Amino acid sequence: MKKPIFSKTKTFMKGEVNPLKFIYLPILVFSGMILSLLMAYPIYAAAEDSLTKTNSYAIGILICSTFALSVYLFWVILQPEKF
């Protein structure tokens, strides 16, 4: 029987970089852009010509980043020993 590929976790020495950490950054950036794009159109439609599209994209990015920061801080409060 074969062992699973990720059966053991590798500990990295000081100065070594985990190569899997860099895979998540483009995924996070892409999902943030898509979420901002999905939020910009309802904000633009609700404003009734008082906002430009650029302003509605900026508001969408601010809402996404505020939500992400609040989730992170809530997570840190619940599990402070990991940080």
Q: What is the domain partition of the chain in residue ranges?
A: 21-82
Q: What would the mean pLDDT of 38-51 be, rounded to a whole number?
A: 82
- Comparison of pLDDT for 10 and 28, the residue scoring more: 28
> 64 and 32 in contact (C-beta within 8 Å)?
yes
Residue type, 9: T
50-75: per-residue pLDDT in tens? 888 888 888 888 888 898 899 889 98
CA distance 30 to 79: 27
Looking at the predicted structure, is the pLDDT value of residue 25 above 60?
A: yes
What confidence tier does 20 reach under pLDDT thresholds 50, 70, 90?
Answer: low
| 41, HSE (Cβ side, Cα atoms, 13 Å) | 4
- Residue 48 amino acid letter: E
| Percent of the chain's residues with pLDDT above 70 | 71
The label of the residue with tokens 């053991």 reads 8
